[in-house]
Structure 1
Amino acid sequence: MTDDPFAKLTRYAARDNRPSGGVPQAPTLGSFIARDRERIADLEVSATGFIILLDGRKEISDADGSHHYRKGDALLLPAGWRGTVVNEPDPTSGFYRSLILLFPAEMVRRLLRAHGDALIGDGRRARDYRVTPTPGLSDAVLHAAEGLSRTPPLSPSIVEHRCMEVLLALLESGVWWLGPVAPNGLVEAVRALVRSQPDQAWTAERVASALNLSNATLRRRLAEEDSSVRRIMTEERVAHARHLLETEGRTVQEAAEACGYASRSHFARRVRSATGRTPSALQRGG
């Protein structure tokens, strides 16, 4: 590998092409180019974003402190991250350049459902969100960038396949925080974890292990925030069930299974208790 494993990506940052606001529904490739120092305060990341610095320097600041990056570095900010970002042009070239690859929440969720067992009990923290480049990751990103920039465009299914390869390479590189993040307290971290894999058989022990906490610490800190693993799990599963039934038109059985309920009757009781309506009524829009 060269000193800059992502050097070949420079061709995709020929102009400033920042992603528009809102939550992306498909993988998106954007480039940030600036001649002047930029400071973006109180930024909230709406989608999982893989950022590669091609020129200049970047600083991000959050509740865990300030983290610094330079040309050739890469970082992964998960959906829900909040903080301040500073982009500094390189004093020699006079430019700040970076690429960002955004992933829709559903794509990340599907990856974690298929390959997320490695997250449980991993024991590592995101720390500064830095990603260590590997040959496989560099190749996957280059392949995805080429696909997203192709004219005429590739089919959405092929583009998604290439971007899913990037997510898998990130996961295999130890980037467990593709899903869970704790920007605003432990309750939000547990919510993000359950939301990423609502069909998993979450227990306090598994959640604590995924977040690198002892079971006692997890329970105590959630109690301090007036919550619990059971309450969060029920709320997130019911919210996911409503989306599946009302928006995607799934059957009650499909929704129950996708939300981790082996018993359809148990699922129905949970939904009715939380919403005042049966799953069938939600499905009909009644």
Structure 2
Amino acid sequence: MPTTAVDQNGLRASLLNRLAGLRAPSGVHGSVSHGAETGVRVFGYCIQERERIARNRMEHPAVVVVLSGTKEVWRGDVAQTFAAGVPFVIPAGMDFDLVNIPDPASGRYESICITVDDVLRQMLRRSLRTVPVNSATADRLDIDLTPALVEAYGHAASALTGLGVAVAATLARNRLLEILLLLAETPVAGMLTTVGRKEQVEAIICADPSHSWQVGDVAAELGVGASTLRRQLDRAGTSFREVLLCVRMRTAGMLLGSSGYSVMQAAQAAGYASRSHFSRRVQYAHGKTPRHLKAEI
């Protein structure tokens, strides 16, 4: 059952209270990373002056909560304004103008952002029975709060501020996943699970890692030009060569871990005709020679 406007106001106040521990210390300006040990990108952002960021494009979708002040998200001539305590999604791959407006009373604009990158998105997709349809063109980016979602944010905030505990990094990742699983039942779900360009390239190469892939081959599979694909991967912080090598070394590690493959067979299946070249690559990627990897079986 949807919550009423009064319920939403109360839930927003509760959410802001739960996230208080993630606020930036007084005097801090700009971005503050939270829980880098988790392998998931969560950061706070704090400024003292109104700012406009023109033609912003996110490589990965993000879930944002304004902690103080307001944020305007412009798509062309249409804007949505998000007050403190209202969670919303910024989809990947779309151009937005963003305006951050400090709160008149405190003089601060502050927000907390969960970047739904490849790692977190893959965790989410593995946890869902069905993957939501991409709804990046949805009219609304805001998310209606529920008591369960507020509770999940509180769990995540507690985990991110308690990373001295040995298991806290894993706990924090799972707490962030808890938030996304709850969002998977909302209209914004498809924006969070959309596969990025890097994942699409990996999937194509994984289907036949022994093929002598060139960037033009994969670009043609994706229906884009080679130069466009290179730019897209560069924005994702990688390159075609790095993705190709990563897939091949992941394949090599799995095959060498199977008693049914010899070193040469694993090399050929991973796309290497030269055993010595394969051995050098495996040792660099895994820290061990192919024979040592097989010896661990």
- What TM-score does the superposition give when structure 2 sets the normalisation length? 0.59
The residue identity in structure 2 corresponding to 1:66 is A
Q: Which residue of 1 aligns with 2:15?
A: 6
1:66–1:35 CA distance, 2 compared to 1 (3 A): same
Q: Distance in 2 between matches of 1:64 and 1:284?
A: 55
Native 8 Å contact 1:55 1:96 kept in 2: yes
Residue of structure 2 in register with 1:204 after alignment: none
Q: Is residue 150 from structure 1 mapped to residue 146 from structure 2 by the alignment?
A: no
On the 8 A contact 2:92/2:191 being kept in 1, the answer is: no
| 8 Å CA contact 2:53, 2:98 repeated in 1 | yes
Unpaired stretches in structure 2, ≥5 consecutive residues: 1-6, 208-218, 234-239, 258-268, 283-297
Instruction: Tell me whether 1:97 sits opposite 2:110 in the alignment.
Output: yes
User: Contact 2:132/2:193 (CA < 8 Å) preserved in 1?
Assistant: no
Q: Please report how far the alpha carbon of residue 198 of structure 1 lies from its aligned counterpart in structure 2 after TM superposition.
A: 7.4
CA pair 99-115 structure 1, distance change in 2 beyond 3 A: same
Match of 1:86 among 78, 99, 110: 99
Alignment of 1:265-284 (within 5 A): none
What secondary structure sits across from 1:126 in the alignment? coil
SS at match of 1:93: coil
Which consecutive unaligned segments of at least 5 residues does structure 1 have? 182-188, 202-225, 255-267
RMSD: 4.4
SS in 2 for 1:69: strand
Q: 2:44 aligns with which of 28, 31, 36?
A: 31
How far apart are 1:48 and its partner, in Å? 3.6
Q: In the aligned structure 2, how far is the partner of 1:36 from the partner of 1:19?
A: 17
> Which has the greater radius of gyration?
2
Tell me whether 73-82 or 28-37 shows the greater mean CA deviation: 73-82
- 1:229 is displaced (CA, Å) by 6.0
Structure-2 residue corresponding to 1:263: none
Question: How far off its partner does 1:247 sit?
Answer: 6.1
**Residues 210-247 of structure 1: per-residue CA shift (max 9 Å, x gap):** xxxxxxxxxxxxxxxx9666889xx9999866423236
CA spacing shift, 1:248–1:59, aligned 2, 3 Å: farther
Matched-pair contact (CA < 8 Å) for 1:148–1:154: no
Alpha-carbon distance, 1:65 to partner: 4.2
Q: 1:113 aligns with which of 106, 114, 126?
A: 126
- Equivalent in 131, 141, 144 of residue 143 of structure 2: 131
Identity of aligned residues (%): 21
Letter matched to residue 180 of structure 2: L
- Say which of 281, 290, 294 aligns to 1:285: 281
Following superposition, the deviation at residue 98 of structure 1 comes to 1.4
**Contact 2:32 2:45 (C-alpha < 8 Å) held by counterparts:** no
Question: How far apart in 2 are the matches of 1:64 and 1:249?
Answer: 50
Is 1:179 equivalent to 2:229 in the alignment?
A: no
Could you tell me which residue of structure 1 aligns to residue 291 of structure 2?
A: none
1:53-91 Cα offsets, whole Å, 9 max, x none, are 122111123468433212221112244454321100123
Instruction: Decide whether aligned partners of structure 1 residues 283 and 245 sit closer, same or farther in structure 2, where only a CA change above 3 A counts.
Output: farther
Q: Which moved more, 1:9-18 or 1:23-32?
A: 23-32
TM-score, structure 1 as length reference:
0.61
Contact 1:19 1:28 in 2 (8 A): no
